[in-house]
Chains A and B, each alone.
Chain A
Amino acid sequence: MKSILMTRWMHWRKQWLSLIVWLLLPILATAVFITVADQWQEDTKIPIGLVVEDDSTMAEALVQSIGSTSLLQIERMDKNQALVKLEQHELDSVFVIEDGYQDNIKENNRNEVITAYSSDMSIAYMPAKETVASYVQQDAGSSKAALTIKEMVAEYDTEMTWTWEEIVETSNQIRKEQSLLHSSFSFYNQKNPIEGTKEISLWNIWGVWSLFAFFTTFFIFDWVIKEKQSRIKVRLSLLRFSFKAYLLKNWCIYLALFILFDLINASVLVVYFDQPVEGSQMLAMIGFRLTMCMAAFLFAQCFKTSFYYYIAVIPVTLFMAIIGGALIPIDGLSKDWSWITYLSPIQAFLEGNMVSGWMIVLLIIFFIWYWRKEKAYA
């Protein structure tokens, strides 16, 4: 292994600048992307309907807090009106502060105190919900009052012919089916409003990061094609170890390098976007990295020239990112086809799972690849 490390180092020394740039690209690109996108968002606030059915001081304070969020443009109205506007997509989502809000909070009542309505076109629902939830948490003042929002999902077909009654009925149905609200992204922007800044981002920072990480992993793995297709291969086949062992050992070195830079990436994200990161999330990150490295390695095996490989990588990455919900929350879509998100390894990462279906499948293919007889003798 030492000699492989040494020979790999000889290659890296020749291309250290581009290698470092590629390795840091996910975090740099994420920072630029989020900063630019948030700047642009300043001018395009997202309209949210707020229905206040509780006339307590606490409820009023909550309205104030939500109103001070720069991302959201709050419109107060009655519930009827709000739902009609939601149906017409004039509002992105609607939050109802239920009657008895203050009393329930005071009694640490676990019943839902806020009802949230979204449509299948809601884009800001996720971040808005997180924000509202965090203010309610603040009010509840205790981590025990964990779940305080009830989620209502109204689905409209494209003709938007649903009546308000139907929405309410569907909502009631969903209310029965679903338990209390849970956050579907553990990697979702977890900015804590208690700490002062009232900024939230529409974008899922880890989602954006995972997209760029996916992309750069595949690009860096072009070494597989370069070494497999070059004339050098005949030499690499006559080494102390088989050519496959040579590739496998190099793969391990690349994996280690990536994990090292992931830690750097994560610390930058923590500092720059003050995203809290827990141990389990670090494990999810390592699992995600392992999955990506296997995927890129095996994918590269299918190509004869780097050029076609590069061309193929771009749509694959975008597809994975979109269905994985990395770029835009696709709750509207995934309500109907919840399986679709499992097609992307990014989903498992964003949910904070270390092991994904992809990882297991790729591990199996990886072993088959290694143990299958080499064509020439071995």
Chain B
Amino acid sequence: MLKVEALSKHYGSKKVLSDVSFQINPGEVVGLVGENGAGKSTLLNILATLISPDKGNLSFDDHSYDSDLQKVRKKIGYIPQDIAVWEDFTVEENMVFFEQLSWKKKSKAELRQLCQNMKLEQWKEKTQSLSGGMKRKLNIAISLIHDPDILLLDEPTVGIDLKSRKEIGSYLHGLAKHEGKTVIYTSHDMEEILSFCDRVYCIGEDPFYKELLEENGKLVQVL
């Protein structure tokens, strides 16, 4: 279970997150919405241990972010908003590179299967020459190499075609429902949020998202 208590973060004089608290259970898919600059990426970055909050207690499965950092990191799969892959490597090389440095050993066949789950079939192709959507798929696949328990996805599906998007969505949904993973993701695609998320967190004062989602029968909590 992911627990966040009284989390605050500001950049300079700008308050981005103030006194945010929530809990997410294993097997839940939670959406994160809000306008540009609301603080979605900031929150995910904090959950991914990449930046530290000003205040607040975080823990995952009773491992505190402060004292058990490496244990927490081992469980985190973070998919950054900006595509983070080696452009001069092939898909295969990218997968092998991060597999070598990751927490879990995987065979090439397993790595390839992971790409196929993301609907990425180009295995030997240079990443440079992939389309934007294909790179996005690779970006997701790399983050799943070590079978993380908690998936933090920052706008993972931007630019991915509708068909693949649906398939990736239901794959991630399946990971949550069948393997008990915790999935948190941000998206500006309302339809995607509506069809895959169990609950939605809304960041920011603007009532627009809350009203829109509640009209469609979603459980919304404002952070």
Q: Please report A residues at the B interface, Cβ cutoff 8 Å.
A: 3-4, 6-7, 10, 14, 230-241, 246, 375-378
Contacts and interface: CB of A to CB of B under 8 A. Distances in A.
Closest 10 CB pairs of A and B: A3-B100, A231-B84, A239-B101, A231-B82, A234-B80, A232-B84, A377-B69, A7-B100, A235-B84, A377-B49
Contact of A234 (B65, B78, B89, B100): B78
Given A6-B100, A7-B97, A233-B84, 5 more contacts: A3-B101, A234-B80, A240-B101, A376-B52, A377-B69
Given A232-B85, A377-B66, A238 B97 contact: no
B93 interface: yes
B223 interface: no
Contacts of B100: 3, 6-7
7 contacts: A3-B100, A14-B89, A232-B85, A235-B142, A238-B76, A241-B101, A376-B52
Nearest to B73: A238
A237 B50 contact: yes
Q: Is the interface of B mostly helix, strand, loop or mixed?
A: loop
Interface in B142-163: 142-143
A159 B154 CA distance: 73
Contacts of A233: 84
Contacts, number: 61
Nearest to A230: B84
Contacts of B89: 10, 14
Contacts of A14: 88-89
B8 to A, nearest CB: 16
A377 B101 CA distance: 20
B97 A240 contact: no
A231 B96 CA distance: 18
B103 A240 contact: yes
Contact of A10 (B84, B85, B97): B97
Contacts of A234: 48, 50, 78, 80, 84
B84 A376 contact: no
A235 B49 contact: no
B98 interface: yes
A231 B83 contact: yes
Q: By CB atoms of chain B within 10 A, which of A14, A375, A376 has the most? A: A376
B69 A378 contact: yes
Given A377-B52, A378-B69, A235 B93 contact: no
Contacts of B101: 3-4, 7, 236, 239-241, 246
B115 to A, nearest CB: 16
Contacts of A240: 101-103
B86 interface: yes
B51 interface: yes
